[in-house]
Structure 1
Amino acid sequence: MNANTQASNSANLLKGRRVLVTGAARGLGLEFARSLLQAGAQVALADILARDLHAAVADLRAQGLPAYAIEFDMNDPASIEACAQSAVRQMGGLDGLVNNAAMTHSGGKTLHELDVAVWDQVMNINVRGTWLMTRACHAALSESGRGAVVNLASDTPLWGAPKLLAYVASKGAIIAMSRTLAREMGADNITVNTIAPGLTLVEATEYVPRERHELYQNQRALQRAQLPDDVSGAILFLLSDLSRFMTGQLLAVNGGFVMH
């Protein structure tokens, strides 16, 4: 399915929804935001990459799409709170949150080579940041009455990708954490689910060695490269009314590289 076909099929699926997407200046996050906008949602795009962020939002708004830019730092708890408040203020409320912002920066090193400071930074941004952003958005999502949180993990903890320890550990933590969040937030009619994409062709995976790309492509049941648009459908589904009785679940979107 190409992007135009998906946009046509999902038109108005999220009409009236207000969604915050973190890490949305480029890559998967930007594709998620674009798909959500095409499905009828208002979207606040949040990122630390200010230049890329404002350029992306300007392009979306030039297409007549209701996109908003919020600069924030996932490593700063105060900035996370301010981001959530800004999203609610600009869109008049919040129905969905996509916790996509993350860092890798631990690739290519074994457990003995990995620096403690890098480990801590990855955990602070990927795990603590996801928790704090979800907490910051909780009240607005509860008020919505149809709140939905989608956390971005990875399929790497599902097969134990080597030389990526901090990242793998952080994404495994997000999978586990999402289940507890689902139980704690269920009373407020908020769903919390996790997506585990496979190796996707975006800026953030340019550092990945060719051998790893070949491993994925050769071992997938669907033997082709994974593109950002391959993941967007799962995001739309989990933020829509189609999945209102689905929570605490993990969707592996990887072409069948890992099956569970």
Structure 2
Amino acid sequence: MHKLLAGKRLLITGAARGLGLAFADAACAAGAKVVMADILVEQVLAEAASLAAQGQMAHGVALDLADPDSITHCANEAARLLGGLDGLVNCGAIATGIGGVDMLELDMAVWDRVMQVNVRGSWLMTRAVVPHLKAAGAGKVVNIASDTALWGAPRLMAYVASKGALLAMTRSMARELGEYNICVNAVSPGLTLVEATAYVPAARHQHYIDGRAINRPQLPEDVNGTVLYLLSDLASFVTGQNLPVNGGFVCN
């Protein structure tokens, strides 16, 4: 049976845990060769080793999205390990410990740090990967945004603004990279049960569940299929789009 991502060479950031790890696991199961990158170096190396022990082609690489040199090294190392690149998932981001205060109390240092990692880091990561995608003759970039940018979640403005910027960047990147047969799309998950959301108050989780057309908690596995589709040849004429995956909490 043909696997959806058979032979695809992918770099997935933020892959030490949570959604990024789920994407890496699902991509490997779909036949891809994967480099998993994260600032949590020991953890991402361990997770990659675990997948490799199961017979998957997975490697772990250190990545600090606040450091341009680290980003460049990560992209080049991923291409070296895999013999090139066919796709990138920009999942790495700061999400933990930056909510709970309103815009009047938001610290400027927090704002700057979130923008540095979530926005600039995603731009620089994509820029570093583009030469490898061009060399492959085509490519896929999937930016992991958030439905918070679609409904304006309160007391989380730095994160919401960063994900809104990522959505705008997705459209601009798609316009600029289309001539190289590189598709750029975004996926906007809802509040998902992962380590990064463990600190979110139970009332916010329940708010999401109550507001969804499908009234249940969201799991990482709920997002995998959409990401795999956008990385696959099935989505080769889909670009500049945002696909909310949130059980109907926000509907386009």
How would you bin the TM-score normalised by the shorter chain? over 0.9
Deviation at 1:208, TM superposition (A): 0.7
The amino acid across from 1:248 in the alignment is G
The amino acid across from 1:191 in the alignment is C
1:27-62, CA deviations, whole angstroms, 9 ceiling, x for partnerless residues? 100000000000000000000101211111111111
- Paired-residue identity, %: 58
Gaps of 5+ in 2: none
Which residue does the alignment assign to 1:187?
179
The amino acid across from 2:70 in the alignment is S
SS at structure 2 position matched to 1:34: helix
TM alignment of 1:95-106, pairs within 5 A: 95-104=86-95, 105-106=97-98
Q: Partners in 2 of 1:108 and 1:144 — Cα distance?
A: 44
Which of 77, 88, 105 is residue 86 of structure 1 equivalent to? Answer: 77
Aligned: 1:246 with 2:238:
yes
Which of 32, 35, 38 is residue 44 of structure 1 equivalent to? Answer: 35
Q: Partners in 2 of 1:79 and 1:21 — Cα distance?
A: 15
Deviation at 1:121, TM superposition (A): 0.2
Q: Partners in 2 of 1:49 and 1:179 — Cα distance?
A: 30
Aligned: 1:198 with 2:190:
yes
Number of residue pairs the alignment of both structures matches = 251
Which of 4, 29, 32 is residue 23 of structure 2 equivalent to? Answer: 32
TM-score normalised to the size of structure 1?
0.95
Deviation at 1:157, TM superposition (A): 1.0
Q: Partners in 2 of 1:229 and 1:52 — Cα distance?
A: 20
Deviation at 1:207, TM superposition (A): 1.0
Which of 44, 62, 71 is residue 62 of structure 2 equivalent to? Answer: 71
TM-score normalised to the size of structure 2?
0.98
1:173-206, CA deviations, whole angstroms, 9 ceiling, x for partnerless residues? 0000110000000000000000000000000101
TM alignment of 1:107-118, pairs within 5 A: 107-118=99-110
Q: Partners in 1 of 2:212 and 2:107 — Cα distance?
A: 32
Aligned: 1:126 with 2:139:
no
Deviation at 1:146, TM superposition (A): 2.6
Q: Partners in 2 of 1:191 and 1:14 — Cα distance?
A: 15
Deviation at 1:142, TM superposition (A): 1.2
Which of 215, 225, 245 is residue 233 of structure 1 equivalent to? Answer: 225
Deviation at 1:106, TM superposition (A): 2.0
Q: Partners in 2 of 1:151 and 1:162 — Cα distance?
A: 22
Q: Partners in 2 of 1:208 and 1:255 — Cα distance?
A: 19
Which residue does the alignment assign to 1:219?
211
Q: Partners in 2 of 1:153 and 1:238 — Cα distance?
A: 14
Which of 125, 129, 133 is residue 137 of structure 1 equivalent to? Answer: 129
32-41 or 46-55, which deviates more = 46-55
Q: Partners in 2 of 1:162 and 1:233 — Cα distance?
A: 29
Gaps of 5+ in 1: 1-7
Q: Partners in 1 of 2:63 and 2:185 — Cα distance?
A: 23
SS at structure 2 position matched to 1:139: helix
